[in-house]
């Protein structure tokens, strides 16, 4: 049976760090990369924490990730949701079966399914065809009679735009996708709300929206900001809302390379509050999303359905605007 010492050796960290990370110690200071190494090592060694058999419950659930395992390791956002779900499940003595992308591998003996990610309409139908209690977490589409946990994107985006307006900005650009993505998993609600609210305020300018189709990563943010600098020139927006932190970090690099000072000339706010955002130069302002709580809430709802609740519940979790050095 694998031990924390085995995990520490494989991950190249101390046993104390492994213990704190695996026990979700809020005081631990560990980078996303360190956490990823620890959880990857724990999974490869089939590490499981001891559970008192007298208190263990019999329910078994499947946690189904929209992405592959490799993609999850490169995206702390969805990993964090899953870890929150697993923490809650473990605390309640549940047995877990992990499934990545290949839905046909969902075991037939599970009593419920927690589906995490941007599933398409077709994928939602496939998952619902198992005829098990199911809760979708961070899925854009409506999911009928299933339970659903979402971020309150509407309020989050309003908070960003209201902050910019209060700081005196009138030209507020956006980097993200206004089109349905290549996986047909819906239009990003951040994009929809940006457009709707900016139009309501009379501030929307199509030329200040840098829309693209593809992955939300640092490279995309860099390329879109370079495009903005070249196309808008002296009319570059004085503030940008960027759909996630990796893209915002790429945008910071593009602005720096073009000698555009942040936040003196251009302010930036990202989304998700990944841990590295605190350590960029300048430190990135962002929207904090409580990803682990999303996972916990998803399992809690799923347990209610397993225990015979019939009425569907849709939960929208609030966010927090984290103002740092990249905006004023």
Q: What is the pLDDT of residue 52?
A: 47
What per-residue confidence (pLDDT) applies to 176? 94
Asked whether residue 162 is domain-assigned, the answer is yes
pLDDT, residue 275, reads: 86
Answer whether 92's CB lies under 8 Å from 302's CB.
no
Q: Which of 156, 80, 143 is nearest to 314 (CA)?
A: 143
What's the confidence (pLDDT) of residue 55? Answer: 43
Query: 118 in a domain, yes or no?
Result: no
Sign of CA dihedral 245, 247, 248, 253: positive
Residue 209 lies in a domain: yes
Which positions ≥6 away from 272 have C-beta within 8 Å?
77, 244, 245, 286, 287, 288, 289, 291
240-261 tens-digit pLDDT: 999 999 999 999 999 999 999 9
Q: Please give the pLDDT value at position 40.
A: 82
Q: What is the CATH number of the domain that holds 162?
A: 3.40.50.2300
Task: Please give the model's pTM, rounded to 2 decimal places.
Answer: 0.79
What is the tens place of the pLDDT at every residue in 158-212? Answer: 999 999 999 999 999 999 988 665 444 568 999 999 999 999 999 999 999 998 8
Give the per-residue pLDDT at 61. 96
Question: Which residue segment(s) compose the domain that 209 sits in?
Answer: 153-289
* Structural domains of the chain, count: 2
Residues of the chain with pLDDT under 50: 51-57, 182-184
**Domain for residue 197, yes or no?**
yes
């Amino acid at each position: 049976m694998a031990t924390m010492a085995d995990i520490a050796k494989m991950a190249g960290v101390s046993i104390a760090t492994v213990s704190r990370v695996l026990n979700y110690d809020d005081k631990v200071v560990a980078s996303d990369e360190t956490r990823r190494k620890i959880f990857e090592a724990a999974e490869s060694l089939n590490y499981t924490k001891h559970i008192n058999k007298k208190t263990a419950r019999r329910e078994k659930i499947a946690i189904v990730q929209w992405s592959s395992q490799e993609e999850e390791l490169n995206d702390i956002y969805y990993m964090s949701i899953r870890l929150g779900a697993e923490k809650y499940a473990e605390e309640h003595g549940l047995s877990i079966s992990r499934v990545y992308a290949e839905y046909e591998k969902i075991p037939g003996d599970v009593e419920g399914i927690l589906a995490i990610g941007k599933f398409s309409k077709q994928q939602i139908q496939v998952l619902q065809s198992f005829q098990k209690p199911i809760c979708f977490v961070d899925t854009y589409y409506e999911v009928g009679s299933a339970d659903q946990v979402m971020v309150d994107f509407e309020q989050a985006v309003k908070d960003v735009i209201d902050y910019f307006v209060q700081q005196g900005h009138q030209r507020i650009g956006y980097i993200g996708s206004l089109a349905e993505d290549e996986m047909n998993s819906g239009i990003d609600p951040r994009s929809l709300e940006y457009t709707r609210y900016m139009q309501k305020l009379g501030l929307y300018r199509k030329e200040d929206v840098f829309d693209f189709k593809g992955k939300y990563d640092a490279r995309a943010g860099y390329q879109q900001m370079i495009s903005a600098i070249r196309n808008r020139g002296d009319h570059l927006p004085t503030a940008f809302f960027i759909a996630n932190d990796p893209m915002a970090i790429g945008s910071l690099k593009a602005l720096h390379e073009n000698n555009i000072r942040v936040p003196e000339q251009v302010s930036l706010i990202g989304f998700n509050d990944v841990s590295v955002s605190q350590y960029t130069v300048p430190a990135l302002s962002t929207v904090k999303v409580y990803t682990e709580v999303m996972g916990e809430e998803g399992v809690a709802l799923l347990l209610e359905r397993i225990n015979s609740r019939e009425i569907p519940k849709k939960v929208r979790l609030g966010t927090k605007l984290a103002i740092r050095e990249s905006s004023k």
